[in-house]
Structure 1
Amino acid sequence: MESTFKGFGQKAIPFLKALDFHQSREWFLENRDLFETELRDPLGDLVDTLTLRFAEAGLGLRGDRKKSLFRINRDVRFARDKRPYNRHLSAILSPDGTKMEQGVFYVHIGLEGCFAGVAWWQPEAALLLAIRRSIETWPERFRAMVKALNKNGLELDTEGAMKRTPRGFEHVIDKDLAAAIRNRHFVVRHVIDPAGIHGPELVEELVDFTLRAKPLLDWGRAIEGKTAKN
């Protein structure tokens, strides 16, 4: 049953701080009710509410209060860091409501910061190549997208970009195009003030951000050959 987002609990961030300090299954189980009421359930409400609002706005992004949330537990099987719990809770809304699609909305509430993103994140090799070929072949489309994002107060994030131009694109000499082709993902971010997570106004903030990021969604979907679905 869908619930309207009213805000995260006042103890949401303090809970994460305490969990990060204890990093104990016993402590987590003793305080699980606090986790659910202050963090997990409100995030589920946020996913439900954004799904409705994104549909109304024609953004083609949706989620599920169970399937869209990432686990608070860390996968430590192959990690040097064996701490069992994350320092954040997060969720993803995508074209088909799963975590497997590209062109997604992501929200992150954590000790390292609160933020949202719209992204083509680490696309598989074939899609990444198609994106790079599109930048090379139709630079005017890429530049129009970047210009639209800039007009909306957003910039493509360059974090994690390759230091060298990938093989097959060495002939691209325009600095902006070469820099874009070195990207491993295409993402814009919005910083959320932690003080602003406790009220329903967060929904409007995130809808506004995602509408401003729509040029990136539309550009990537055109490359994929897909259209928005609601």
Structure 2
Amino acid sequence: MNDVIFKGFGEKAMPFLKALDFHQNREWFLENKDIFEAHLYEPLGDLVEDLLARFEKAGLPFRGDRKKSQFRIKRDVRFSKDKSPYNRHLSALLSPDGNKWAESGCFYVCIGHEDYRGCYAAVAWWQQKPELLLAMRKAIVEKPENYRAMVNALKKNGLAMKDTDALKRTPRGFEAVTDPDLIEALRNRNFVVRYPIDPSAITSPKLADDLLDFALRARPLIDWGRAISGTTTS
């Protein structure tokens, strides 16, 4: 088990992201790369390693790597109208097999400029393969008691699911469902719970404690999805 202990992000982490929002050019970034690495990149790597050890001890199915789990600060602008070369946030994703694909149930943490993504963590089933999403929808209809138990467990833990990309209409094949809570669930493309992070708190080592607590409280969502994903063929 890893012995890396997260000590907090650097004091210049948020000022760097705010400045980067204004100075969207390679020259400025290279001149300030040392600040980026010392106050953002390396601390996020420490946070990942610290959380990995905590998650393993707690039996949570999130794996990763301090470098490979981080998303690049440099943007891929090939298919985007926004040609800004750099993101205004830095983030990492942990998943059961350690890759950065969220469809298998994931833990995500983002440290961002508040005018854009902001700072938050999320536990989610995100952009699943069509067969898994269909299996989840069938499970909601065929075993509504399991779905409702999961939702109630999250509520008891102070969490609520919210999909900002939900369908406006009930998906085909489920039109006969009339229960409002099940209709709302069937329209979800993703199943997500979020934890807002106070930007002023990112320099504290306590952030790792708070994120472990959040992940444990979100466990009912991960367990519900894993029970369903185990019934689908890969």
Gaps of 5+ in 1: none
**In the alignment, which residue of structure 2 is the partner of 1:102?**
104
Q: Report the Cα offset of residue 3 of structure 1.
A: 2.7
Residues 1:158 and 2:163 are matched in the alignment: yes
Q: Which AA in structure 1 matches 2:76?
A: D
Conserved? CA contact 1:90–1:106, under 8 Å: yes
Take 1:176 and 1:27, find their aligned partners in 2: how far apart are those partners? 50
Q: Name the aligned partner's letter for residue 139 of structure 2.
A: S
User: Which among 186, 195, 199 is matched to residue 194 of structure 1?
Assistant: 199
Structure 1: which amino acid aligns with 2:177? V
CA distance in 1, matches of 2:128, 2:95: 14
Relative contact order (alpha carbons < 8 A, sep ≥ 6): 1 or 2 greater?
1
Overall identity of the aligned pairs, in %? 65
Whole-Å Cα distance in 1 between the matches of residues 46 and 104 of structure 2? 23
Deviation at 1:2, TM superposition (A): 5.8
Distance 1:213 1:3 in 2: 24
Q: Which moved more, 1:16-25 or 1:96-105?
A: 96-105
After superposition, the C-alpha distances for 1:83-114 in whole angstroms (9 at most, x for unaligned) are: 00101000011111111252100000001311
Q: What SS does the corresponding residue of 1:3 show, helix, strand or coil?
A: coil
Whether the aligned pair in 2 keeps the contact of 1:50 and 1:62 (CA below 8 Å) is no
Q: TM-score, normalised by structure 1?
A: 0.96
- Stretches of structure 2 that go unaligned for 5 or more consecutive residues are none
**Residue in 1 that maps onto 2:10:** 9
1-structure distance, mates of 2:34, 2:165: 37
In the alignment, the residues of structure 2 paired with residue 2 and residue 67 of structure 1 have an alpha-carbon distance, to the nearest angstrom, of: 19
Tell me whether 1:183 sits opposite 2:188 in the alignment: yes
TM-score with structure 2 setting the length: 0.94
Listed as ranges, the matches of 1:57-72 within 5 Å are 57-72=58-73
Counterpart residue number, 1:52 = 53
Question: What are the within-5 Å matches in structure 2 for residues 1-230 of structure 1?
Answer: 3-100=4-101, 101-112=103-114, 113-225=118-230
- 1:20, 1:158 → 2: CA distance? 27
In structure 2, distance between residues paired with 1:158 and 1:8: 29
